[in-house]
Structure formats: C-alpha cells, structure tokens
Structure 1
Amino acid sequence: MSNVNTQLFYAKHDIITKEMEFVANSEELDVNLIKNEIKKGRLIIPANINHKNLNPIGIGIATKTKINANIGSSSIENCIENEVIKTQTSIKYGADTIMDLSTGGNLDEIRKAVIANSCVPIGTVPMYQILHDLKDDILNLSVDKMLSTLEKQAKQGVSYFTIHCGFLLSHMPLIAKRKMGIVSRGGSLMASWMMHHHKENPFYSAFDEILDICRSYDVSLSLGDSLRPGCLADASDDAQFNELKVLGELAKRAYDKDVQVMIEGPGHIPLNQIERNVEIQKELCNEAPFYVLGPLVTDIGAGYDHISSAIGACVAAWKGVAMLCYVTPKEHLGLPNANDVREGIIAYKIAAHAADIARGRINARVRDDAMSDARYAFRWEEQFSLALDSDRAREYHDESLPQDVFKGAEFCSMCGPKFCSYKISQNIFKEYKGA
C-alpha cells in the first residue's frame, strides 16, 4: 500500500490542498469553508491519487447538488467501446461522478478505459468484480479476496467504493415483513453469504482493513444501503432504518481514520416521507453527505422512471441531500444505452438545479435569468447554449423551422408571427411608453 494523507487528514490539520482550492473556485465559495466542511465530515472530495486527469468535485450540503450517472456492462452486453461512449456521454451532459457497475466482460479493462476517459470521479461496487472473479459463486467469498479486489481497484484510480457493510445478520428477520425483500444486488449477495455461513457480514467484520486501503489511496467510501426499499410499501421500515443506524456508526469509524465517507439512501419513497428520511439520516449519520437513488415516488412509471424519480430527487436535494444518483428510462427494464444515459442525466440536472435555486445557492439562478432575457429578445442561439441540453433545444426548434433565417425570427412554430405574446407585449410597451 502507498503512504498518503487524505483530504480529510489535511482538513483536520487546517491544511488547504490544491483539490480544495479547485472545488472552491468552481463553486465560487471561500476555500476555508470547503476545508471546514470537510473537517466536520459534511463534505467530501473523492480524489484518488492515481486518477491523474481528475477535476475534483465537492459533495456536501455547502456545495451545489451533484449527480451521478451509472454505466456498466452485463454478461449480455459487455463492449468496452460502448462503456467509453457512455462515459463520454455522461461527461458531455453534465454528470459530476460516474459509477462503473460492470458485471460482465473484462472488468479490469473496462474500468481502466472508463477511468482513462473520465475527468470526473469514478465509483464502483467492488462486490460485482468479486462475484465475477468467483465465477458467480458468492459462497466462496473470503476476506482476502475482498480486500485484494478493493486494493486492485484503488490502484487503478477508483475514487469511491460503494460497500454494503451496514447490513447485519441480525437484520434478516426484519426483511421477512417486506413486500419485495432485498432489491440491492450487493445486499442480496451478502444475505446469501451470511445465511449460508451463519457469520457476520465480512464487509462489516473487516471494516478496519477496508479503511486502511481507502486511506492509502484517498478513496472515499459510499456506505451502501443494502436494505433500501424497492417499493413504496416497504419505505421507511425497520429494516431500512436499522441499517442506517449501523451506517452512521461506521461513518464515525471512517472519520476517525481520516477516510472520507458519504451515506447512500433510498430507493422508493412516497413524496411525503422524503423530508423525514433526510432528517433521520442527518441525525444518525452526523450529517455526512447523503447520496440517494431517486427516490422514486411511484412504482408504476416503468419506461418513465427517470421522471418519477427526478420528482423525488428534487425534493430530496431541496431538503438536504448532497448527491443524486440518476435513474434512466430503462430502470427496472434493461441495460441503459448512451441515449438512456443522456435522458437520465438531463432529468437529474433539472432536479438538482431546481433544488439549488430553492436552497438559495450562490448564483444558482443566473443562468435562468439569462435564459429569460434571451427568450424575450428572441436570441435563439443564446437560448440553445443556455439550455441544459443544448442539442435537444436546437433539435426541437429546427424540426419545424430549420432554415438559418429563423434563428433571427421573432417567433417560433408554436405561436407563429402573429400570436407571440413576447412580441405583443413589446409592441404594447413601445406604443404606450410614457402614457
């Protein structure tokens, strides 16, 4: 293992790093605020020392809401080039981090290619590689195999691991009461291992060794929610909150060893329960950054779960969640392609941005105000550039008015030249100015 100090170590010793300065400049915040938030455990900068082309980002309540894009191969589709395209698409449309959740093909080479083509932090769920290397026989999992996989990925430049370490053997009876049991892949694998061996979760038992690896490369931990609810009926139950309590205890242990940590959250949650979930997480986890999947606020949005989840994500971020894990239209249905990645990212960029405005983030509304000015003045090219998805805005405008002359027109195809409210308003003000 290498000998390195982490961003948390430096913050505790009141040392400002170049990563802290980069984040402060990009967020338009004082660097001492960034340092102090890291020092409190309320902000992390996932920045593995081996990810050489990384542009650091801050994840925490003091910074803008971040979004993560999940990509990855499967046993059915495992082309390295496709994962590179998904990586490039994620960055183009604004993902702040990318998780490589590959489960099929040459996982080491896929991960290597993803990291090489990414300027944003890359996260993984090491359990997927462990299972792959064990030829899908989770019962043969050993602590040595687990730790060697983590260190291999750390050496490659992975900036954060999702590990399912808070799911304990004592939680198993709580799951029996659920409609959908365990929906986390990592959680279900741990359940199989624990029930077969009648032993405690090895990620929990070997947590100190995991922290040693993370500290050696400044890998952050995303403490995974194995027992997140997979449907509204299971939301906010004893299984979910008992695991969350354990995650809070583990977060404190990580903090004591100078390892940066964030907490993963649900899942499927009714809209009216989201704020309570955020408050409970803050209380149990010492306000460590909260990173949630959605949450989806309905179970019947198949094909449109990027929308049903973005609704929940916006509320969650408004109430204090630091990072949102996107959901694509393919959620529950299949492996997303590059276009699905685009759709999921834009839905979540909208949710994150709306939440930042609601939370009064510094300069959060500047772009919106510029868009309003451009719309009222019919500056079409400026409108395209200000849109979260510039390509889509241009595509839709040009479906009916593709000629260049219409880029200077004072109307669009919805109202036409005679019924544009902007133009009518301008004419009224011009005619009756001073009246």
Structure 2
Amino acid sequence: MYSPESQEEKLVEWYTKSNLKIDNEIFFFGRDITLENSKKVELENSERKFRNFFNSSLGLMTIHDLDGNILSINKKGLESMGYSENEAKDLNLKKIIPKSNQKEYQTYIETILSKKQDSGLMSLIKKDGSLTYWLYSNILDKDNEGNPVVMSTAVDMTQRTLLERDLNRVRQLLDHTYEVANVGGWKYDLVKQKLIWADITKKIHEVEPDYEPNVETALHFYEAKSSYPKIKKAFKDAVEKGIEYDMELQIVTQKGKTIWVRCKGIPEFVNGECVSVFGIFQDIDERKRYTLELARQKAIFETFINHVPASVAMFDNEMNYLTLSNQWSDEFAIKKKNVIGKSHYEMYDVPAERKAIYDACLQGQNYSNEDTIYRTPKYDTDQHYSWAIHPWYINKKQIGGLIMFSQNITESVKKNRELKKPKRTPISLVKRSQSF
C-alpha cells in the first residue's frame, strides 16, 4: 500500500479479529513488514548467488562436518571425482583419502579446530581408483543449527604435481649424470653483478660448499701463463661481441692441484646488450692426460716407424694400412698419404697362398721367409726379399692386425752366388805348388 507520509509503497501484513461483544464489528491490525521483507529477499538472493557460485565453481568445493561426512559438494567437484549426485550423499573424506594419509587427516582436523583454518596439498582417490592432488584452503564455520562445519575450496593440482614429480626425477637423473661426468654449471648475471656456481663446479675447484665466487676470483683459478690469458679474452669477447666459447684449459684448484677442465660459455643478449653468460664446467683431467699421453706415444711410435732402417708396415685386421716406414715407401714406390686406410689387397694382386699366410697370422701365428722373389714397381728385375709377419695385440686376447717386416736382400744373394762359383787357379801357382 502507498504511504502518504513517506511517499513510498509499503508492504503491510494484516491481521483481523472479530468483536465478540458487538456483532458485525471486526478489528484490522496492520504491521509494516517492508524492511523485514527486503532483508528476506536480500538473504534469498544472497543464498541463490552463493548456490550458483558454489555449483558453477571450476574447482572442488565442499562442506563437511568434523567426522568427514561431506554435506555438500559442487557439480564440478562431483564430475572431477567421478561420482553422481546420488553417490555424493554417502561420501566421506576418510573413504576417499588414501590409507597412507589417514594420520594426516586427523592432524588436519586438529588444526582446523585449533586454528579455525588450514591450507595445503591433499590427495584424494577418484571413483575409478586413480589418485588426484588438490590445493585446498579451508575454514571452520557453523551451520544454521550452530554445529561446526568446514567450508572447503580446492584447485586440481594433479597434472602440475605429476609434472613436478617427473621434473624432479629428471633433475635427479641429470644431477647424478652430471656428478658421474664431473660436469657443473655456472651463470654470471651482469645486471646483478653476481656469479653463481653449481655444487659440482665448486667441487671441481675444491672450494667449500658455501664459497661465493666473483668474476675476478673465478678467472684467477686458471693457470697463469697459458690458460688465464685465453679465458680472459674469451669471456671478454662473449660479453662484448656475443661470441660463444668452448675451451680446454688448466686451472689450479683451491688446494693447489693443477687439472684440465672444459669450460663453455654462452652469452645471453636482450635488446642488443649482454645480460648474462652461462655455461658448463667439466673436470676432464683424466681424459685429457690420457689423450696427451696417447698423442705422445703415437708421436714416438710414428717417429720410430718412419725412421727405422727397415721396410715396416702395420695393418689392421682387415689388412688396411695403418702406418708404414719411410724405407717401405721408398722400397715399394708408394706414398704414405696415398695408402693409409686402404686395403693391401687393393694395392697389390696378392696370391691365394699369401692371403692364407695373412689369415693365419691374424689368428695368432707368426711367419717368416728368408728369401722370396717378386718384382716391385721400383725395379725392372725380380728382387729377393727376406720378410716376417707377426700379429699385434690390442690386449692379451684381442688381435688388432699385422706388422710386416721386409728387407731387400738381392745384393746379398748375388754376392753369395758369386762366392759359390768355382774359381780357376793360375798356372804359375800350380807349378809353384808342384815344386814344393
């Protein structure tokens, strides 16, 4: 009804009562319920909005009592867990929490009671038995009857949690791999002027775990005479010119040990300006020293082979040339660079009986011949050769190929033949002998 006084529409609740003493007399009582009704409508709208928000929420929203009984759950939460609305009536947190986490559930209830709220990561079992992970934030409240209930909101973190676990496993594997390979990382932030070393990098430098390096101290670990100038220039070029580097240099560790390391640096530029340099740092001392020693041994071997006063050739187990002496090159009129890696069978028409000898030697036998006749491109006539073949070994059991020794004995054969020819005695000597 309209109120002239306030010039507003009012909502009035009317009551009637008959006068029992006087017939046909009725009393009317009116109560202004405009404000009361307004609050009621506002409350209904609020409840409707909450219900709509509750049901349309993308996460998991529940209301449960302190015994774990789920009193209400949103539709999206039901779908995520794989349950129907009818099944939701019998849901209890204790039933969908893994058995291994039951103690944690009791701790959660105790925390809710004491602090009135709790948050963290919880795992729940879906209807199909699969495990899910939820990031929750819960508060303690009361229902209309004053009973304590827990209002819970949670976000599905299953994919992220599984990815993080996979990443952690990969990181652990990489850390183990880097440790086995003695590979560490490092990064220099030019903006913050801060150098960071990985744990393995510190271990290689033989410094304490809490050691904090800077560019100057890091560079001065390098061997002063040769390595320091090289790394200093490489780092400067990386920062100023954007040139990557990958070098094998020597450092002197904190404990005074000189070792070989591999250092790699990659500059990172933003808007044409270097903001950081990062890379790897690897202990290669054992491999490097082995490589250098191998190179030294090879140089000694090559020098010996090249200058030995004999025709010597070395083959692998496929009869490919590995190396040969200078005298072999001269004797058989071939250039070393033209035959290394090529098969002996491609260079010469080797008879079957000679191939059989080679095969036997590759099985571990030795062979020699003091006088073999054949002609080489250097000579126009047949030559006499003394030669021997021995297998060479990679280890005690594995044969790597053959070593062949050859010597031209043609002149010696000729001299021996001359000496074997009968000689005529001069007549004068015969007469003298007869006179005796």
Could you tell me the TM-score, scaled by structure 2's length?
0.21
Structure with greater helix share of residues = 1
User: With structure 1 as the length reference, what TM-score do the two structures score?
Assistant: 0.21
Q: Which structure has greater strand proportion?
A: 2
The structure whose Rg is larger is 2
Structure with larger RCO (C-alpha < 8 A, sep 6+): 1
